[in-house]
């Protein structure tokens, strides 16, 4: 009887000890998991800050110029490419895939160029090519006078057919 | 004279001369090129598939031997997720189209007449075959072509398709 009681008591003690160990292990794992998650968040935040810093260093606001392309076409128009020249020097030549052209049709905006310009007057020539209704080829251009001031300069080239139906043209918008 | 070759190699080792094989393990440089069928194809839109990039030119004899074999590989593995893109560096697209048609090529032929993509992949000799995994990393580069090389491509390809 005494031996049975001792065995039961021992068994209870061992169970309690192992339960405590299991609880400690679980707590340690939880704490480790939380540390890993916190570290991961710090790494992601740092990555984002480095990206912003890189952009600021490469393209400081006082010389930055960015050109965006968007579309507002009623009739079907498949954009094929956009070429940009600033002061007669080609700075961008972007080919649009079908997926990218569809995204633009759905309202996406594409930053086709970001660079540096000195303050003063500059000339931007933008040419786009594509296919309109009935597979008709389009090639249109626009010349834009850029007055670069001290702040970053943004130019939006919107391809639109609102003015003349089914005739896509550039509508240029500038802001700083 | 016997010192010339070692001197050249010594200079070359310090001169920064690089080869496409140096790109193994690097992310594949993204690009978009117009194909002979007038579609624009962007490499980064193929992420998730295994991509075989083949650089060639109409003046390249080994390319003529290699391309029909690439066509066989394409037909065999396209349903398994292989995307085969061939990049031609000639300035005359008509010549490239004629050669592709004569050789019975059905995979996309992209025109890199400005050699921008060829520069990005450090192409010096022809042909060059690059295998890119599903994550967009360059895993294998083969410069030149001799009969039998195609079995190396298929071995590596199977490995990447099974990943």
Which chain A residues are within 8 Å of B33, Cβ to Cβ?
A: 95
**Which residue(s) pair with A127 in the sheet?**
A83, A141
Q: Are residues A159 and A132 in the same domain?
A: yes
Which chain B residues are within 8 Å of A94, Cβ to Cβ?
A: 32
CATH architecture of the domain covering B56-163: 3-Layer(aba) Sandwich (3.40)
Which chain B residues are within 8 Å of A97, Cβ to Cβ?
A: 32, 39-42, 45
> Which residue of B lies nearest to A78 if distances are taken between CA atoms?
B39
Q: What per-residue confidence (pLDDT) applies to B95?
A: 94
- In tens, the pLDDT along A142-174 reads 999 999 888 889 999 998 876 666 677 888 888
- Predicted complex ipTM: 0.78
Confidence band for B3, pLDDT divided at 50, 70 and 90: very low
- What is the value of pTM for the model shown? 0.74
Confidence band for B11, pLDDT divided at 50, 70 and 90: very low
Give the mean pLDDT of chain A: 87
Q: Are residues A49 and A86 in the same domain?
A: no
Q: Are residues A21 and A99 in the same domain?
A: no
Domain ranges for chain B, please list them.
56-163
Q: Which of residues 100-129 of A touch B (CB under 8 A)?
A: 100
* Residue B25 token pair: 């393990």
Closest residue by Cα to residue A126 from A139, A101, A109, A143: A143
Q: What per-residue confidence (pLDDT) applies to B12?
A: 39
The answer to whether the beta carbons of residues A91 and A85 sit under 8 Å apart is yes
The DSSP line for B110-154 is EE-TT-HHHHHTT--SS-EEEEE-TTSBEEEEEES--TTHHHHHH
Is B60 a residue of the active site? yes
Q: A96 touching B, CB under 8 A?
A: yes
Last residue of a domain, one of A58, A73, A96: A58
- Over residues B133-156, the mean pLDDT reads 95
The parent domain of residue A110 ranges over 64-175
CATH of the domain at A93: 2.60.40
Q: How far is B16 from B14, CA to CA, in rounded Å?
A: 6
Q: Are residues A77 and A51 in the same domain?
A: no
Is a pLDDT exceeding 90 seen at residue A25? Answer: no
Q: How far is B50 from B47, CA to CA, in rounded Å?
A: 8
Percentage of chain A surpassing pLDDT 90?
44
- In tens, the pLDDT along A66-112 reads 999 999 886 677 899 999 999 999 999 999 999 999 999 889 999 99
Confidence band for B6, pLDDT divided at 50, 70 and 90: very low
> Tokens 């090519």 identify what position?
A129
What is the distance in angstroms between the Cα of A97 and the nearest Cα belonging to chain B? 5
Q: How far is B61 from B147, CA to CA, in rounded Å?
A: 12
A&B contacts, CB < 8 Å = 21
Q: How far is B155 from B74, CA to CA, in rounded Å?
A: 14
**How many domains in chain A?**
2
What is the distance in angstroms between the Cα of B43 and the nearest Cα belonging to chain A? 10
The burial class, CB within 10 Å (0-12 / 13-18 / 19+), for A169 is middle
Q: What per-residue confidence (pLDDT) applies to B161?
A: 95
The answer to whether the beta carbons of residues B20 and B144 sit under 8 Å apart is no
**B26-52 in b/e burial notation, b at 16+ Cβ within 10 A?**
eebbebbbbbbeeebbbbebbeebbbb
Q: Is B86 left (phi over 0), alpha (psi -120 to 50) or beta?
A: beta
The DSSP secondary-structure symbol of B5 reads: H
Give the mean pLDDT of chain B: 89
Confidence band for A136, pLDDT divided at 50, 70 and 90: confident
Q: Are residues A77 and A161 in the same domain?
A: yes
Exactly one of B43, B60, B83, B111 is catalytic; which is it?
B60
| Helix, strand and coil percent figures for chain A, each rounded to 5 | 40, 40, 20
Q: What per-residue confidence (pLDDT) applies to A162?
A: 66
Q: Are residues A165 and A79 in the same domain?
A: yes
- Over residues B36-46, the mean pLDDT reads 95
Q: Are residues A78 and A164 in the same domain?
A: yes
Q: What per-residue confidence (pLDDT) applies to A164?
A: 62
Q: Are residues A104 and A150 in the same domain?
A: yes
């Amino acid at each position: 009887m005494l031996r049975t009681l001792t065995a039961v008591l021992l068994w209870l003690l061992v169970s309690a000890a192992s339960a405590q160990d299991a609880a400690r292990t679980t707590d340690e794992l939880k704490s480790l998991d939380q540390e890993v998650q916190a570290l991961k968040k710090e790494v992601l935040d740092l990555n984002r800050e480095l990206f912003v810093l890189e952009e600021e260093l490469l393209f400081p606001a006082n010389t930055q110029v960015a050109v965006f392309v968007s579309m507002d076409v009623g009739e079907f128009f498949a954009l094929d490419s956009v070429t940009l020249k600033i002061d007669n020097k080609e700075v961008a030549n972007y080919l649009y895939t079908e997926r990218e052209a569809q995204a633009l049709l759905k309202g996406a905006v594409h930053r086709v160029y970001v660079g540096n310009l000195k303050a003063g007057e500059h000339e931007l020539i933008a040419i786009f090519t594509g296919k309109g209704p009935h597979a008709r080829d389009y090639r249109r251009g626009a010349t834009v006078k850029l007055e670069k001031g001290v702040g970053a300069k943004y130019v939006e080239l919107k391809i639109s057919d609102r003015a003349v139906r089914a005739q896509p043209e550039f509508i240029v918008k500038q802001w700083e | 004279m016997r010192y010339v070759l070692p001197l050249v190699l010594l200079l070359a080792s310090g001169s920064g001369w690089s080869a496409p094989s140096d790109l193994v393990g690097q992310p594949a440089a993204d690009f978009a090129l117009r194909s002979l069928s007038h579609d624009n194809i962007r490499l980064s839109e193929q992420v998730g598939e295994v991509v075989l990039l083949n650089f060639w030119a109409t003046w390249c004899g080994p390319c003529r031997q290699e391309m029909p074999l690439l066509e066989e590989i394409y037909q065999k593995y396209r349903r398994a997720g292989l995307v085969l893109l061939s990049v031609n560096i000639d300035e005359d697209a008509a010549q490239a189209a004629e050669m592709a048609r004569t050789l019975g090529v059905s995979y996309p032929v992209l025109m890199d007449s400005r050699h921008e993509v060829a520069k990005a992949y450090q192409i010096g000799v022809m042909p060059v075959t690059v295998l890119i995994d599903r994550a967009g990393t360059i895993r294998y580069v083969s410069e030149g072509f001799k009969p039998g090389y195609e079995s190396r491509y298929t071995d590596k390809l199977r490995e990447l398709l099974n990943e």
